[in-house]
Structure 1
Amino acid sequence: MPHVFPVNKFRSLQTPFYYYDLTLFQETLDKVKKHGLSKGYHVHYAIKANFNFRILELVREAGLGIDCVSGKEIERAIEAGFSPDQIAFAGVGKTDDEIRTGLKYNIFSFNCESLQELEVLNQLAKEAGKMATVSVRLNPNVEAKTHKYITTGLNENKFGINPEMLPQLFEMLPGLDNIKLTGIHFHIGSQIRDLKPFADLCEKVNLVQDRFEQEGVKLAHINVGGGYGINYENPDEEPHPDFESFFGVFEQHLDVREGQQVHFELGRSLVGQCGNLISKVLFVKEGINTNFAVIDAGMTELIRPALYQAAHNVDVLTSEKKPKTYDVVGPICETSDTFRKGIQLPEVKRGDLVAIRSAGAYGEVMSSGFNLREKVKAYYSDEV
């Protein structure tokens, strides 16, 4: 059934703004707990998807950890009340200061993505008098069947260490006195709807783990990353991803050793559907072949359509008229500032409210001040 928005209350708020349905978010977290945490899996929320404090509060209360890709994200997680032993730190380009931040807090794991990074981390840990706990990110060369910009597990991607370099890794490890290798890490991409790539990943992980054991390296944990997608086309039909099937793939295909932990890094699949970008129609322009609905939200509030050619569902909240065809566009001085082209919507007029759906992930966090736009506010279902 269609999502119900508090439209009358929206009318009194300055648009555009982000609106988070915290009830829906809690329901999503409950499903992760039921199908993931209950099996003993460890789930780290990918804070890059949305670092809003209200979101983080519910994540922490649900018993999830945090996956970070910057030093500031580590500090945000600590500020939000997460324990350092819940924090994993990934990223292909960690600065020395960011590494020092992770060392300062004694985080759960540095997910290292190159042999040189291991050397730098070892040196910085030595200078700090610390022992750094490390997972090595390996590139499994698994096709994720997603947008090329968010594919991360192929040989030509910048992420991870190629398995062909494992002999060099094993040769290096005995000389890294301030590093403790406890796991291996993988991440093949983002917005993956087909579960087969995850099954393929499991097969690669099993082979890699065999290789580590042949070298006498026992792994305390395996981090299989995240990347599970959401239904952007029909968010009301699928408000929560099928976590039972997702975690079931790993339960079926991953060869987990006795006492070994399995870690995940889920972001978009947790927070994507609970967020919406609410906007107002500024003008309606009649074109030759289509009409333009010019709204007051732009690529500065949601860059995904411009960056990834993403198609977010658009709901008109204040019109039940017969449908017309529109290009829904924003006010930014770029032709790429277009949310949807040729979409059928109830006829709109100046002042009508629209909801751009599934904006909870990579919406607010990727907003910008281009055109000197001011950052817009966020509102929550328990306060509106």
Structure 2
Amino acid sequence: MNIHQLDINHLKSLETPFYHYDMELLANTLDAAKKAADKRGFHLHYALKANFNDRILELIQSKGYGADCVSGNEVQKSIDMGFPASQITFAGVGKSDKEIILALEQQIFAFNVESIQELLIIDELAGKLGVKANISLRINPNVDAHTHHYITTGLDENKFGVPNSELEKAASVLRSCEHVNLLGLHFHVGSQITDMNVFKSLCVKVNEWKNWFEERGTTIKVLNVGGGLGVDYQQPDENPMPDFEAYFDVFDKFLERNPNQEVHFELGRALVAQSGTLVSQVLYTKSGIKKNFLILDAGMTELMRPALYQAYHKIEKLGSSNQEELLNYDVVGPICESSDCFGKEVTLPISERGDLIAIRTAGAYGEVMASRYNLRDEIRYVYG
């Protein structure tokens, strides 16, 4: 249920801060994405790093999604939550031996390999275990995602993927590996992408590298094009889910696929972001010479994104009417850091101690990034 549909007195009876998850919206979003992908023959994996709340994972797994993991613990969590090992991929630029061994023992679908050295380590560890590892080689396509530089991953200057200059060597090393099976190619250019032209550019690069390998006699079964589809942080109620039809249509039109060649996606934020709202209570109001402050009981320990890369989240006062007088506030948290700020000069109805504030579109990279800094309480959550 949408946060504005909930009884304000009930909300005030709950201990704040907490995350509220709109499970109906989440289910509808998952269904819409799956329907749009299925009709084009695409495979969907959910990126656990966006949110690994148990109830959310249960719902996603029940809808037939695979899992995209970036740590050994995420691989184990996926297994524990019922995701079939045959639908789990393991990405990440720095996989430890322990994590690799865990994934090998679980016989996951594929490793997304990001360097020649990693390729050799997986081959060695698979040999010791007497198994064969399926891998997709992650290629850095040098495509600009036109998003914040902290969440851009596909440029030559980024740490992710095998650089183009090493692909000839990577292909040679692959031929010498006895315990690795090249399943496919993997690409991911960044996050929070709303310009479909970025994905068109990615398709062009994927086509080039697919052909490059096939011209050298290598069969490519899987094209993993990552994720990165963005959501509307400014108008969460007007646009509660992305246009999945338009997104998948780009790949359907511009990606060159051979018969029986699979296309895989790794969506995270696009599926869960709008379903989550951080609810906080006003502890204090303070007026300075130039600023009015709302000091909340939630801080960067509950929602890191604004402090980490100045991310925007819509901030609302719950239970307010359209007739209330408005004032501009800097909305800040209680943490002893100047960066603990959710928004500057936010126009809100005049607020006072005890009022509830909603920070919207917080279902992705909210709860999962929460910390105990300042010895804060564990984050709480409720479902609606």
Same fold (TM > 0.5): yes
Q: Judge which range, 29-38 or 277-286, deviates more.
A: 29-38
Name the Cα RMSD after superposition. Answer: 1.1
Q: Which residue of 2 aligns with 1:244?
A: 245
1:358 aligns with 2:349: no
Q: Is the 8 A contact 2:4 2:318 kept in 1?
A: no
* Structure 1: segments with no counterpart, 5+ residues: none
- Structure 2: how far apart are the matches of 1:7 and 1:245? 37
Q: If the length of structure 1 is used for normalisation, what is the TM-score?
A: 0.98
Q: Is the 8 A contact 1:139 1:154 kept in 2?
A: yes
Q: Is the 8 A contact 1:328 1:338 kept in 2?
A: yes
What's the offset of the Cα at 1:2?
8.9
Q: Judge which range, 372-381 or 163-172, deviates more.
A: 163-172
Q: Which amino acid aligns with 1:103?
A: L
Q: Which residue of 2 aligns with 1:344?
A: 347
Q: Is the 8 A contact 1:15 1:279 kept in 2?
A: yes
Q: Which amino acid aligns with 1:154?
A: L
What's the offset of the Cα at 1:6?
3.5
- Structure 2: how far apart are the matches of 1:9 and 1:50? 25
Superposed CA deviations along residues 103-126 of structure 1, whole A, max 9, x for unmatched, are 010000000000010000000000
What's the offset of the Cα at 1:154?
0.1
Q: Which residue of 2 aligns with 1:282?
A: 283
Q: Judge which range, 347-356 or 287-296, deviates more.
A: 287-296
Q: Which amino acid aligns with 2:208?
A: L
What's the offset of the Cα at 1:15?
0.3
- Structure 2: how far apart are the matches of 1:218 and 1:18? 46
- Structure 1: how far apart are the matches of 2:347 and 2:37? 39
What's the offset of the Cα at 1:3?
4.5
Superposed CA deviations along residues 255-299 of structure 1, whole A, max 9, x for unmatched, are 011001000000000000000100000011012222100010000
Q: Which amino acid aligns with 1:153?
A: G
1:332 aligns with 2:323: no
Q: Which residue of 2 aligns with 1:52?
A: 53
Q: Which amino acid aligns with 2:382?
A: Y
Query: 5 Å matches for 1:316-331?
Result: 316-320=317-321, 321-331=324-334
Superposed CA deviations along residues 20-39 of structure 1, whole A, max 9, x for unmatched, are 00000011011102211232
Aligned residues: 381
Query: 5 Å matches for 1:126-137?
Result: 126-137=127-138
Q: Which amino acid aligns with 1:281?
A: V
Q: Which residue of 2 aligns with 1:43?
A: 44
* Identity level (%): 52
Q: Secondary structure at the match of 2:362?
A: coil
Q: Judge which range, 113-122 or 283-292, deviates more.
A: 283-292
Superposed CA deviations along residues 287-345 of structure 1, whole A, max 9, x for unmatched, are 22221000100000000000010110011003332111100000000110000100100
Q: Which residue of 2 aligns with 1:151?
A: 152
Q: Is the 8 A contact 1:170 1:215 kept in 2?
A: no
Q: Which amino acid aligns with 2:165?
A: E
Q: Which residue of 1 aligns with 2:207?
A: 206
Q: Is the 8 A contact 1:222 1:263 kept in 2?
A: yes
Q: Is the 8 A contact 1:272 1:360 kept in 2?
A: yes
Q: Is the 8 A contact 2:3 2:277 kept in 1?
A: no
1:25 aligns with 2:26: yes
Superposed CA deviations along residues 27-63 of structure 1, whole A, max 9, x for unmatched, are 1011102211232111100000000011111111111
- Structure 1: how far apart are the matches of 2:292 and 2:279? 20
Q: Which residue of 2 aligns with 1:110?
A: 111
Q: Secondary structure at the match of 2:5?
A: coil
Q: Judge which range, 30-39 or 304-313, deviates more.
A: 30-39
Q: Judge which range, 341-350 or 3-12, deviates more.
A: 3-12
- Structure 1: how far apart are the matches of 2:379 and 2:174? 48
Q: If the length of structure 2 is used for normalisation, what is the TM-score?
A: 0.98
- Structure 2: how far apart are the matches of 1:61 and 1:319? 37
Q: Is the 8 A contact 1:144 1:192 kept in 2?
A: yes
Q: Secondary structure at the match of 1:124?
A: helix
- Structure 2: how far apart are the matches of 1:163 and 1:214? 16
Query: 5 Å matches for 1:307-318?
Result: 307-318=308-319
1:120 aligns with 2:121: yes
Q: Which amino acid aligns with 1:191?
A: Q
Q: Secondary structure at the match of 1:36?
A: helix
What's the offset of the Cα at 1:164?
2.3
Q: Which residue of 2 aligns with 1:367?
A: 370
Q: Which amino acid aligns with 1:236?
A: D
Q: Which residue of 2 aligns with 1:178?
A: 179
Q: Which amino acid aligns with 1:328?
A: V
- Structure 1: how far apart are the matches of 2:102 and 2:83? 15
Superposed CA deviations along residues 210-250 of structure 1, whole A, max 9, x for unmatched, are 10111100111100000111111111111000111000100
Q: Is the 8 A contact 1:319 1:347 kept in 2?
A: no
- Structure 1: how far apart are the matches of 2:228 and 2:61? 20
- Structure 1: how far apart are the matches of 2:173 and 2:291? 62
Q: Which amino acid aligns with 1:295?
A: L
Q: Is the 8 A contact 1:16 1:297 kept in 2?
A: yes
Query: 5 Å matches for 1:188-267?
Result: 188-267=189-268
Q: Is the 8 A contact 2:3 2:22 kept in 1?
A: no
